[in-house]
Structure 1
Amino acid sequence: MSGALFRNVAADTARLIRRNAAAEIKQLQSRPDFRAPQLLGRAKETGISLPSSPSGLCSSAKVGFVGWYLGMVKSRPVITKSVTSSIIYIAADLSSQIISKKSSESYDMLRTARMGGYGLLVLGPTLHYWFNFMSRLFPKQDLITTFKKMAMGQTIYGPIMTVVFFSLNATLQGESGSDIVARLKRDVIPAMFNGVMYWPICDFITFRFFPVHLQPLVSNSFSYLWTIYMTYKPAVISAETPLYLLSYLAHCHSM
């Protein structure tokens, strides 16, 4: 009986000490001469866990997958954005196949692998460098600057990446040089026009409202939605869909 009473008194005393220590720490944070080492020393004495960096003391710590991902985007930007792009394009290709294929048809995993490889090795890295280049060239995010970035993408990056995508995919499918040229002449211009009502809006949102380190993720997310939309569009679904659809859905818009 006395032992239980002693334990209860000890527990209550410990809680009271921690509560008083936490209140003292808050007072220290509000003082102009606040010092992080002093706060950390008091925290260790009272058993209160605190963030390791001073900046973390004034804001809630980011936890979970989102916090981990944001940390990776900043610490390893190229590989993180490349893997993200690859995953999104794999998901987009599989989704388009699920929607468009007949029940008797099997999945074209080679096509999916091509899309994933393109996102990992080509699109992801170039998106990173393009968006950073645009941010350095036009550092502001006002309305006029946003339209300048959109124009640069529509006239430079978008057309180049569309040609690269068509050419690379055709090469991987074993087409000859003359076949690739014929495909470019036939498909590039229509591909550019098909996204003209969608991608400028997406690019405006991306450039205007998101920081540069998240712009590739936002752009790729819009690409996924565009894939689903174009899969439902009967005029686009044809024998050329595996290459033609997935070319302009993500690469002919401004970046």
Structure 2
Amino acid sequence: MAWRLVYDTLFSRYLLFTNTVVSCGLEALGDLLVQKYEKNSEQEIDWARTKRMAVIGFILGPPEHYWFKFLDKRYPGRGVVSVFKKVTLDEVINGPACVIVFFLGMNKMSGMNWTDSYNDMKKKFWPVYKTELIVWPAAQVLNFFFVPPALRVTYISAVYLGWVMYLSYYQHKKS
């Protein structure tokens, strides 16, 4: 009974807050998992790196919340045409925007100047966006067909955990 009250409160009254916290937490968790994979047991966790990833989740969580509300309002329902429009818009507008924000944000928080940050983002954008076009359309079709609107950002955040692990690895791999 208490769990139901918490669930109803978080996913109705405080949905923006919940989506932001989930996004932030999963960014941090994804990075920690990658660091554990990358490092042997004697190496320390780079908490500053994890904090930067969490900040990206904090930055992207609210726009994602409103983005899904916009898509549901603009293209209501779960019909094939509606879902196709949502997925197409998500991949053409939201996908590239998130990749750009991720790389620019991570680079700036790491201390890069704008020119180097932009050049690094340009170098990484297309390989990552091509991978995104493989992963996210299928995830979004499932999202828009089956997931209730209040749980969309949480569902995407769960899928995003795997995606964040990929992004964290890609961002921090040695050239």
TM-score by length of 1: 0.63
Tell me which residue corresponds to 1:65.
3
**1:96/1:227 contact within 8 Å kept:** no
Larger radius of gyration: 1
Q: Aligned partners of 1:92, 1:190: CA distance in 2, in Å?
A: 20
1:75 aligns with 2:19: no
* Residue type at the aligned position of 1:167: L
1:150 aligns with 2:82: no
**Matched pairs, number:** 175
1:166 aligns with 2:103: yes
Q: Deviations over 1:201-254 (max 9, x none)?
A: 1111111111211100000000113445x49xxxx9578339xxxxxxxxxxxx
Q: Aligned partners of 1:92, 1:238: CA distance in 2, in Å?
A: 12
Tell me which residue corresponds to 2:27.
89
* Residue type at the aligned position of 2:32: L
Paired residue secondary structure (2:24):
helix
Q: 1:77 to 1:171 in 2, by over 3 A?
A: same
Paired residue secondary structure (1:139):
coil
Structure ranking higher in helix proportion: 2
Q: Aligned partners of 1:115, 1:239: CA distance in 2, in Å?
A: 11
1:119 aligns with 2:57: yes
Paired residue secondary structure (2:134):
coil
* Residue type at the aligned position of 1:88: L
Return the match for 2:115 from 178, 185, 192. Answer: 178
* Residue type at the aligned position of 1:77: L
Greater RCO structure (CA 8 Å; 6+ sep): 2
Q: Which runs of structure 2 are paired with 1:1-40 in the superposition (5 Å)? A: none
Larger displacement relative to structure 2 (131-140 or 155-164): 155-164
Superposition deviation, residue 130 in structure 1: 0.2
Q: Aligned partners of 1:66, 1:115: CA distance in 2, in Å?
A: 31
* Residue type at the aligned position of 1:135: D
Structure 1 regions of 5+ residues with no counterpart?
1-62, 243-255
* Residue type at the aligned position of 1:146: V
Tell me which residue corresponds to 1:240.
172
Q: Aligned partners of 1:142, 1:113: CA distance in 2, in Å?
A: 40
Structure 2 regions of 5+ residues with no counterpart?
none
Superposition deviation, residue 131 in structure 1: 0.2
**1:81/1:216 contact within 8 Å kept:** yes
Superposition deviation, residue 67 in structure 1: 4.2
* Residue type at the aligned position of 1:241: K
Superposition deviation, residue 84 in structure 1: 1.4
TM-score by length of 2: 0.90
Q: 1:101 to 1:207 in 2, by over 3 A?
A: same
1:104 aligns with 2:42: yes
1:188 aligns with 2:120: no
Q: 1:93 to 1:238 in 2, by over 3 A?
A: closer
Return the match for 1:219 from 148, 156, 165. Answer: 156
